[in-house]
A = this chain, B = another copy of it.
């Protein structure tokens, strides 16, 4: 049944029997090229000019699309950027293959690699700023991205049979926070080395079960 949840989540988007994802069936259908052109323009502007300069009008200009066509699809810049930067289910999961230390290192590298992506780096502070106005947006993103990661990490720790010196949620927060800040501030430079350092710290916080 644990898989059921994932299935449900999927079905919401493209599952069998999904009748109506709120798009109308009559009238001229939306041009899918508009969607992709906008997404591409958004990513490019984010990387090249930063979040602030990535205005809706600038995106429209670069994408060769009208502003209303964008507003028809996304209700705000935050929503558009979020969707462009975190498409869906880009889940990084830890896998227990043998040595806990190297497993964690692989895991941390995966996370930092994703966060250090130039578009992601550029988008995050901007999104955080927007969340001040619309906290709901933030909750949605957390729900969508962070919650499943959190569960997967907890599962990983449980399967190691180790005893964490802090509660698992906080340990996850430490790891994510460290990687997040590093990715945002320094980017991809030396990210791998830092990821392995973080992995060591997290490792050290997982004490081997007593023999007894």
**Stretch of A1-9, A127-135, A148-156 with 4 or more beta carbons under 8 angstroms from chain B:** A127-135
> If A174-B178, A178-B174 touch, does A165 touch B52 (CB 8 Å cutoff)?
no
Contact pick for A177, options B52, B182, B203, CB 8 Å: B182
What chain B residues lie within 8 Å of A174 (beta carbons)? Answer: 174, 177-178, 197-198, 201
A199: nearest residue on chain B (CB-CB)?
B166
Count of chain copies: 4
Measured in the bound complex, the distance between the Cα atoms of B128 and A177 in whole Å is: 16
What chain B residues lie within 8 Å of A52 (beta carbons)? Answer: 129-130, 132-133
Q: Is A125 within 8 A of B133, CB to CB?
A: no
Contact pick for A173, options B129, B170, B194, CB 8 Å: B194
Q: Is A173 within 8 A of B181, CB to CB?
A: yes
Question: What 0/1 readout, one digit per residue, does chain A (166-181) give for beta carbons within 8 Å of chain B?
Answer: 1100110111111111
A38 within 8 A of B: no
What is the number of residues of chain A that contact chain B, defined by CB distance less than 8 Å?
42
A200 within 8 A of B: yes
Tell me, rounded to whole Å, the shortest Cβ–Cβ distance linking A208 to chain B.
12
Measured in the bound complex, the distance between the Cα atoms of B180 and A184 in whole Å is: 12
Q: Is B205 within 8 A of A201, CB to CB?
A: yes
Tell me, rounded to whole Å, the shortest Cβ–Cβ distance linking A31 to chain B.
16
A204 within 8 A of B: yes
Tell me, rounded to whole Å, the shortest Cβ–Cβ distance linking A209 to chain B.
15
A96 within 8 A of B: no
**Can you list 15 A-B pairs with a CB-CB distance of less than 8 A?**
A51-B129, A52-B129, A53-B133, A122-B132, A124-B128, A125-B132, A128-B184, A167-B197, A170-B194, A173-B181, A174-B178, A174-B198, A177-B178, A177-B179, A201-B205
Please provide the 3 A-B residue pairs with the shortest distance between their CB atoms, ordered closest to farther.
A50-B132, A125-B128, A177-B181
